[in-house]
A and B are shown apart, each in its own frame.
Chain A
């Protein structure tokens, strides 16, 4: 991945969630390098918040995807957006959502994230469930 590509979003979650999803985005689309993985093993809530805040400030990114609505990354991200006074958080990220975001031609990353969230929500399907 090239470091010269403009970063558009952070992905944060439990264990290897971020690296796994971004690796999948890269494999499918070649666009994984617009996303920054955040792993938070062993960090307290304050340190997660600081890591996310510092990464947002250094990268200029204002879009954060997290794995779980109740997760500590989601809690910390909401505090970070409050600190920054701008940006968007999408909790419950999945691969279709991140693919849509990474491949979006919309220059406005916040708008692209909002659209991607809807695509990700719509991409969940169930097959073979009993009637």
Chain B
């Protein structure tokens, strides 16, 4: 097995990740890449509390994670790579050879436009997703496994809540 999902989700570890994806994919570890969480023991304990006992969570900054991703891909157990924002995932695409990106949750914030129920983007974030594609990553939006993986251009053209 390998990293079975490379996900951008601003809620990081939560129900959709642990239960929605974790159970059907039999995920045994999560690689959580976030500079702030990587530097906070309290935050790490908070996220560890949210996973079942047989699921491991490893915390890294973006710079620390990138050279480790090849090793994670050779793990026998299935795992999820998780970032809280597009910029961190972009770093891993550029420096960690990530080749497919799941947009799983970028929620409402001032200045963002709603594309899907779970995806809100600023114009800069729209461009940042296009850049992931330019860098060689296949980008799709999909909140849960039962949903359809929506291609990037369809995501960017979509408008909900208007």
- Which residues of A does B touch, CB under 8 Å? 14, 41-47, 67-72, 74-75, 78-79, 82
Contact = CB atoms under 8 A, between A and B. Distances in A.
A46 B12 CA distance: 12
B50 A43 contact: no
A68 B50 CA distance: 9
A38 to B, nearest CB: 15
B11 A69 contact: no
Nearest to B22: A70
Interface residues of B, number: 23
Contacts, number: 55
A15 B18 CA distance: 17
A44 B14 CA distance: 12
25 contacts: A14-B15, A42-B108, A42-B118, A43-B107, A43-B108, A44-B11, A44-B107, A44-B109, A45-B11, A45-B107, A46-B109, A47-B109, A67-B15, A70-B13, A70-B14, A70-B18, A70-B50, A70-B51, A72-B11, A72-B14, A74-B50, A75-B12, A75-B13, A75-B46, A75-B50
B113 to A, nearest CB: 13
